[in-house]
């Protein structure tokens, strides 16, 4: 497994990471543990979770799965999206982040996380408060590095400027929706990452399964898929996305690989990308995703993927999570 430097930090991460938002929801506990072990046995060390995934179940399951293996994992979690209805149960205030970090560490059965990410920009809390809190977390040894998710380019640059001015620890990574079906980060976020040496961590790399070949031309949803378990996902079952998925499937078959492996391999080669988070609900999906790390395609195929996905540079992001 190839490892890439995460931004300009000294931390190296596997080029393929494991997304865990299905753990405790679309994958039961024992299956989720098998997924984690299969991923680690296959060379994946970057494990991404959050305090809200499956109502905290994802973190608890990961904590159990990593017993005896913690030192082999690059573990990241997040906080900032709502954990409850109260005004102090969301956002990136000192009060909320301190409470959530302590709770995450207990569930994860560890005394530190390698990367702690703010899950989304908080317009109601001064960035100075957030960044000072993160700086304290690093000083305490409970957090190794810090990053942000769902920030726009200007929000991220504002944070970097404050950190430089105040001498706070600096965000080293940006996590965002990015795939053949969502190239909107290329407009502003990726140029910022390249300029500031920020590691990009794409989520939804298979566009919720659209790029995996699981959805037919009519958008029919297989049992247990995101489209079946999340009715809101059906807004993506339109002709443009489904046609993209069909073409990727055809070219993958011609190249002797799967649509998932081809889509992930394309993303791994994009500028600024450090690791690609791919979810799995069973060990077989992990094995299928791992094929992307050894797939070699000629430049012509990747050029065709660039061309067919060019329209997805425009319009709205495939997914973004913000505080209301």
Structure tokens at 13: 């991460």
Q: What is the pLDDT of residue 77?
A: 99
Structure tokens at 254: 């011609």
Give the chain's residues under pLDDT 70.
216-237
**DSSP collapsed to 3 states, 252-280:** HHHCCCCHHHHHHHHHHCCCCECCEEEEC
**Residues 258, 4, 192: CA angle, nearest 5 degrees:** 95
Q: What is the pLDDT of residue 237?
A: 65
**DSSP collapsed to 3 states, 51-65:** CCHHHHHHHHHHHHH
Residue 209 backbone dihedrals phi, psi, to 5 degrees: 110, -10
Q: 115, 76 in Cβ contact below 8 A? A: yes
Question: Which residues lie closer than 8 Å to 233 by C-beta, 6 or more apart?
Answer: 208, 226, 227
Q: What is the pLDDT of residue 217?
A: 52
Count CB atoms within 10 A of the CB of residue 152: 17
Q: 29, 22 in Cβ contact below 8 A? A: no
Measured CA to CA, the distance from residue 303 to residue 246 in angstroms comes to 17
Structure tokens at 185: 């980060």
CATH code of 3-313, in short, is: 3.20.20.100
Count CB atoms within 10 A of the CB of residue 268: 20
Q: What is the pTM of this model?
A: 0.94
**Residues 252, 216, 178: CA angle, nearest 5 degrees:** 60
In a 3-state reduction of DSSP, which class is residue 143?
strand
Q: What is the pLDDT of residue 94?
A: 98
The catalytic site residues sit at: 53
Q: What is the pLDDT of residue 226?
A: 53
In a 3-state reduction of DSSP, which class is residue 184?
helix
Of 52, 45, 41, the closest CA to residue 17 belongs to 45
């Amino acid at each position: 497994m190839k490892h890439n430097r995460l931004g300009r930090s000294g931390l190296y991460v596997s080029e393929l990471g494991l997304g865990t938002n299905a753990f405790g929801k679309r994958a039961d506990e024992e299956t989720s543990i098998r997924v984690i072990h299969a991923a680690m046995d296959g060379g994946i060390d970057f494990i991404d979770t959050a305090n809200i995934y499956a109502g905290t179940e994802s973190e608890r399951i990961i904590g159990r799965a990593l017993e005896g293996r913690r030192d082999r994992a690059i573990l990241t979690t997040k906080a900032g999206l709502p954990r409850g209805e109260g005004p102090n149960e969301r956002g990136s205030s000192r009060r909320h982040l301190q409470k959530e970090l302590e709770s995450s560490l207990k569930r994860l059965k560890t005394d530190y996380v390698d990367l702690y990410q703010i899950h989304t920009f908080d317009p109601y809390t001064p960035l100075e408060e957030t960044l000072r809190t993160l700086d304290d977390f690093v000083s305490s040894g409970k957090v190794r590095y810090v990053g942000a998710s769902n920030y726009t380019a200007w929000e991220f640059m504002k944070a970097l400027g404050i950190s430089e001015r105040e001498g706070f620890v600096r965000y080293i990574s940006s996590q965002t929706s990015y795939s053949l079906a969502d190239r909107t980060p290329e407009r502003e976020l990726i140029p910022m990452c390249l300029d500031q040496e920020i590691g990009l961590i794409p989520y939804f790399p298979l566009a919720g399964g659209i790029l995996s070949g699981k959805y037919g031309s009519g958008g029919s949803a297989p049992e247990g898929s995101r489209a079946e378990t999340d009715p809101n996902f059906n807004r993506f079952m339109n002709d443009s996305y489904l046609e993209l998925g069909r073409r990727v499937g055809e070219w993958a078959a011609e190249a002797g690989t799967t649509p998932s492996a081809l889509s992930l391999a394309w993303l791994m080669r994009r500028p600024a990308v450090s690791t690609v988070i791919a979810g799995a609900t069973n060990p077989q999906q992990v094995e299928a995703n791992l094929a992307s790390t050894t797939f070699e395609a000629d430049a012509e195929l990747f050029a065709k993927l660039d061309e067919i996905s060019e329209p997805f540079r425009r319009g709205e992001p495939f997914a973004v999570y913000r505080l209301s």
